[in-house]
A and B are shown apart, each in its own frame.
Chain A
């Protein structure tokens, strides 16, 4: 099986779908000739032509708004917002339009589209290249929200997202583009080629949206994570020696509550980790759901380890980013509670 970085896997997913389905079009800022600032669309314009993969004006509302129009015509746009931090100008189009077209038209108009956005911190991206706005999407009825954490999932989930009949927000942790990252910023980064999940089938394959993956089985405590925090959680478990069961949610909405509830009922403890800010973050939803579904099995309060309730700072990167030490502390405290 070929080995791919996350970038290559994402590009391969679009390549596969563009070849299979003429309705798939790819566009965004610097996405065409140049192949994207992260190289995720490199070569696609050359291969499929300028009307299938093209550069867009710097207008997020314009990119999403035109893509919605295309989707209602019958195309399947897979568009890019250069950084999730820059999706706000398009938020009206995403929330008021893409998410609601099917509902408000009683199915007359539908919006099969994917909005790809590089997300997350840990790269000294400062305030506007590090944000994790997933809670602003999971709160919206009519959207699906996906966050892959490795090349294999990235390809399978992106193909599923492109084939999905509903609008999908596809958040790509840019910290994971070239290799897994466990939060140990002082150690050299390992490339994907050393990781088993960089083995990605060539051609078409997809992973179901709404299904979580258990990346480490354990009996002591359930850790709910996604994106970069999956690796941070693994490091924290290894370093504390706590037998954590780590679940990579992969899709935040629809959420795989079955897998989550089964795990917490088994372990009796739960720690939720994400990079996004704490208050009203997706972790609040997870904690509430776990509490509702597993109240009588819980032996400790559900803990949350997240970014602080501040804008994402620059110089204080590693004081902000919830690294393995902070996650490990939460694991220990939850075990002792």
Chain B
């Protein structure tokens, strides 16, 4: 006889599945302005609470409140607004282009536009982002050519990556945007290495690592935190918690941990949580973390709490695993509407200006799209030469590849 009952395996489940009523009552949302803003050289031990709260600036009324407010001018906020709107419009057009068969694949940012758009503005020229496939706001807000982005998505004759990469896997060294890999989390630890290199060379540049909630379960996430912590690398370790990893809810990656930010505490890394749909809060926290890195105070981990409103990709149908209206119930709202309300309250924006901006941006994106399509799309028009397939494997083409290129007849 044993005193022990049979063991059972715990498999976390999201609160609601398709057909159910969305319920985010378990997501604790602190009031805007409620979380203090410590000095950047704070003892990490004294701000452990920040890994369990959510730094927010914009309140329900659209006012910017609390110690993290007041960093951005009207002009900067309007620019942020336009960048977010541009990204959303860009996404919408590319989604349609994929449906029209002009490319094979696309991934949109719907609902997450504030994070990469605002973060980009906290960096300086020369800093390097190590993004995932869902931070194109870094490129849009950084002034990268939309035509080039579309040419990459179309894999056409002007594709900067010569048709070698899946759509949205952009690369732009000049814009501080590291080449995107399909392999999740790999870039997280590379960002730490890049930051270590900057420190080894006594440079002043910093790195930013990006990862989603699901990918924090990859072992490279842990390696990155160990190395960042050990060598006090000048890196910002960003986690975009959009609640979903394809069909898997964030509880599968997070397990019993209070938050993703809390993971940083075990490594002695100051860890903050921020409202990812609050442009002002994202910018303020990014600025704080960048300042820490640049002052040689070491890494900061930031969890952006947001919601993936769109499908994971054009190959995904979320209605198979979550309620269709779940995004409407998301308590942190929509980043564009929230900034719009704030700007209107500041007197720096209006419904008319918003409509006008929407129309202007749509025109700009359509014009870029027309230009991009004039260089071809995946299945029509001009395309990268088949010779390109053999270039760039090595700095210099070795004999066996030269032979294969010859056999391919290109």
Which residues does A use to contact B, with CB under 8 Å? Answer: 25, 51-52, 56-57, 59, 61-62, 65-70, 72-75, 89, 92-93, 96-97, 100-110, 141-142, 144, 164-166, 210, 253-255, 257
> Given the complex of chains A and B, what is the CA–CA distance between A102 and B391 in angstroms?
10
Give Cα A24–Cα B128 distance, bound, in whole angstroms: 21
Contact A66–B173 (Cβ < 8 Å):
no
Q: Is the CB of B399 within 8 A of A106?
A: no
Query: Is A109 in contact with B224, judged by CB distance below 8 angstroms?
Result: no
Contact of B392 among A52, A73, A103 (CB under 8 A): A103
B400 cross-chain contacts in A, Cβ below 8 A: 254-255, 257
Cα(A108)–Cα(B169), bound, Å: 13
Distance from A145 Cβ to chain B, minimum over Cβ atoms (Å): 12
B161 at the interface (CB under 8 A from A): yes
Residues of A within 8 A of B144 (CB): none
With A62-B226, A141-B393: A106-B193 Cβ-Cβ less than 8 Å: no
Contact A61 to B223, CB < 8 A, known contacts A108-B173, A109-B173:
yes
A108 touches B171 (CB 8 A): yes
Q: Please, how many angstroms separate the alpha-carbon atoms of A317 and B196 in the complex?
A: 42
Are B395 and A62 touching (Cβ within 8 A)?
Answer: no
Q: Are B393 and A104 in contact (CB under 8 A)?
A: no
Which chain A residue lies CB-closest to B163? A106
B199 nearest in chain A by CB position: A51
A69 touches B164 (CB 8 A): no
Which of A65, A73, A108 lies in contact with B223, CB distance below 8 A? A65
Question: How distant is the Cα of A75 from the Cα of B164 in the complex, in angstroms?
Answer: 26
A72 in contact with B194 (CB, 8 Å): yes
Min CB gap A39→B, angstroms: 24
Residue B192 is within 8 A (CB to CB) of chain A in the complex: yes
Chain B residues whose CB sits within 8 angstroms of the CB of A67 once the complex forms: 193
A69 near B181: Cβ-Cβ < 8 Å: no
Residues of A within 8 A of B130 (CB): 69
User: Please, which residues of chain A bring their CB within 8 A of the CB of B171?
Assistant: 104-106, 108-109
Contact across chains for A102 and B399 when beta carbons are under 8 A apart: no
- 28 contacts across the A-B interface (CB closer than 8 A): A56-B227, A57-B226, A59-B223, A62-B224, A62-B227, A65-B227, A66-B227, A67-B193, A68-B193, A69-B195, A69-B207, A73-B193, A73-B198, A74-B201, A75-B200, A92-B186, A92-B220, A96-B181, A96-B183, A96-B186, A102-B392, A109-B173, A142-B393, A144-B394, A165-B395, A210-B399, A253-B398, A254-B398
Q: Could you tell me which residues of chain B, from 165 to 213, have a CB within 8 Å of some CB in chain A?
A: 165, 169, 171-173, 178-179, 181-183, 186, 189-201, 207
Contact for B165 among A25, A104, A142, A257, CB less than 8 A? A104
Q: Which residue of B lies closest to A58 (CB)?
A: B226
Other A-B contacts than A70-B194, A92-B186, A255-B400, 17 sampled, CB-CB below 8 A, are A51-B200, A57-B226, A65-B192, A66-B227, A67-B193, A69-B194, A69-B207, A70-B196, A70-B200, A72-B190, A72-B194, A73-B201, A74-B197, A104-B169, A108-B171, A144-B394, A210-B398
Report if B350 contacts A (CB, 8 A).
no
Contact B399 A257 (CB under 8 A): yes
CB distance from A113 to the nearest CB of B (A): 10
Q: In the bound complex, do residue B395 and residue A110 qualify as a contact, i.e. CB atoms below 8 Å apart?
A: yes
Q: State A141–B393 Cα separation when bound (angstroms).
A: 7
Q: Is the CB of A102 within 8 A of B223?
A: no
Q: A103 touches which one: B164, B199, B220 (CB < 8 A)?
A: B164
Contact A62 B189 (CB under 8 A): yes
Q: Does B162 contact A (CB under 8 A)?
A: yes
Contact between A106 and B395, CB atoms less than 8 A apart: no
A59: chain B residues at CB < 8 Å are 222-223, 226-227
Which residues in A have their C-beta under 8 angstroms from that of B192?
65-66, 69
A155 to chain B, nearest CB (A): 23
- Across the interface, A101 reaches (CB within 8 A) one of B160, B179, B189, B198, namely B179
CB distance from B209 to the nearest CB of A (A): 9
In chain B, positions 117-174 with a C-beta closer than 8 Å to chain A are 128, 130, 160-162, 164-165, 169, 171-173
Minimum CB distance partner of B235 in chain A: A69
A89, B219: Cβ atoms under 8 Å?
yes
B230 at the interface (CB under 8 A from A): yes
Do A106 and B161 form a contact, CB below 8 Å, given A69-B195, A73-B198, A142-B394? yes
Closest 9 CB pairs of A and B: A69-B193, A66-B193, A65-B189, A62-B223, A73-B197, A105-B179, A69-B190, A254-B398, A69-B194
Closest chain A CB from B155 CB (angstroms): 12
Instruction: Find the A residue at minimum CB distance from B192.
Output: A66
A85 to B245, CA, bound (A): 33
Shortest Cβ distance from B160 into A: residue? A106
Report the minimum CB–CB distance from B5 to chain A (whole Å): 37
Question: Chain A contacts of B172 at CB under 8 A?
Answer: 108
Q: B197 to A69, Cβ gap below 8 A? A: yes
Q: What 0/1 pattern do residues 92 to 115 of B give for CB contact below 8 A with A?
A: 000000000000000000000000
Are the CB atoms of A109 and B223 closer together than 8 Å?
no
B193–A254 contact, CB under 8 A?
no
Known contacts A103-B164, A109-B178, A57 near B230 by CB under 8 Å: yes
CB contacts (< 8 Å) of B393 on chain A: these are 102-103, 141-142
Q: Give the complex CA separation of A254 and B194 in angstroms.
A: 28
Contacts of B164 in A (CB 8 A): 103-104, 106
Using A75-B200, A97-B183 as known contacts, say yes or no to A61 and B219 having CB atoms under 8 A apart.
Answer: yes
Complex Cα distance A73/B230, Å? 20
Q: Tell me if A69 and B161 are in contact (CB < 8 A).
A: no
Query: What CA separation (Å) do A142 and B391 show in the bound complex?
Result: 11
Q: Closest B residue to A164 by CB, please name it.
A: B395
Complex: chain B residue closest to A49, CB-CB: B200
Given A59-B226, A108-B173; A166-B395 close (CB under 8 Å): yes
